């Protein structure tokens, strides 16, 4: 009886670490959840971003303006806005629903949606876009997001945020620096402050 008990105990000891390793690997790309103030840190305009279904709205920073996207751009793009210097832009887009996407979100929540978003971005750019750091769950008032950073054109650092609306539609907001104007890019801390301010106005 004692020998059988020891065998069972040894089996548990041997199996348990392997389970822990798998679980650690599963979440090794995720930062701890952060909570942010649901109030903008910079002045915001009254220019409204609105999804086609009306289940998501947001506002853009003061003095920013909307631009017409190229006809060749993805039909998933809702709107793009830029700052007066054309050194920073924000793109709102829809992540189309299908059985695969719905299944991933049911299983992994917004983290799965963020991973899917990054994977698609990498494939569309032939691997040029790479994840920088880890995925970060963000709580802002009653709203939940997952944020991640990635390398974009010219190895610049862009930031994407994914979220799900009350109608179970999936959206992405991407803040990206732009260098074609030749002007100095905003500091990284300033870009994050602008991102947080736009996030604070998102209603879904």
Taking the chain (204 residues) in consecutive chunks of 10 residues, what is each chunk's mean pLDDT?
37 35 58 95 98 97 91 82 97 96 97 97 90 97 97 86 97 94 94 98 96
The pLDDT of residue 72 is 59
Instruction: Tell me what pLDDT residue 3 has.
Output: 37
pLDDT of residue 113: 98
Residue with tokens 């915001």: 44
Residue 58 confidence (pLDDT): 98
The pLDDT value recorded for residue 67 is: 94
Q: Which residue has the tokens 């301010």?
A: 197
Residue 19: left if φ>0, alpha if ψ -120 to 50, beta else—which one? alpha
- pLDDT at residue 96 in the model: 94
Is residue 202 exposed (0-12), middle (13-18) or buried (19+ Cβ within 10 Å)?
buried
Can you tell me which residue has the tokens 């060749």? 72
> Whole-structure pTM over 0.75, yes or no?
yes
pLDDT at position 74 is 73
Q: Considering only CA atoms, which of 183, 166, 153, 165 is closest in space to residue 174? A: 153
């Amino acid at each position: 009886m004692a020998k059988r008990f020891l065998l069972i105990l040894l089996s548990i000891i041997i199996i348990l670490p392997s389970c822990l390793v798998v679980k650690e690997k599963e979440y090794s790309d995720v930062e701890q959840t952060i909570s942010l103030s649901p109030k903008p840190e910079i002045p915001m305009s009254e220019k409204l971003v609105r999804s086609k279904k009306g289940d998501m709205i947001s506002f853009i920073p003061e003095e920013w303006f909307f631009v017409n996207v190229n006809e060749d751009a993805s039909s998933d793009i809702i709107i793009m806005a830029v700052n007066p210097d054309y050194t920073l832009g924000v793109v709102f887009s829809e992540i189309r629903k299908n059985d695969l996407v719905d299944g991933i979100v049911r299983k992994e929540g917004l983290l799965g949606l963020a991973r899917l978003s990054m994977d698609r971005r990498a494939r569309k750019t032939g691997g040029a876009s790479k994840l920088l750091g880890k995925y970060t769950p963000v709580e802002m008032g009653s709203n939940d997001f997952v944020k991640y950073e990635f390398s974009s054109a010219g190895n610049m650092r862009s930031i994407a945020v994914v979220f799900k609306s009350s109608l179970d539609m999936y959206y992405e907001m991407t803040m990206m620096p732009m260098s074609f104007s030749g002007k100095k890019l905003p500091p990284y801390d300033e870009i994050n402050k602008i991102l947080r301010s736009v996030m604070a106005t998102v209603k879904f």
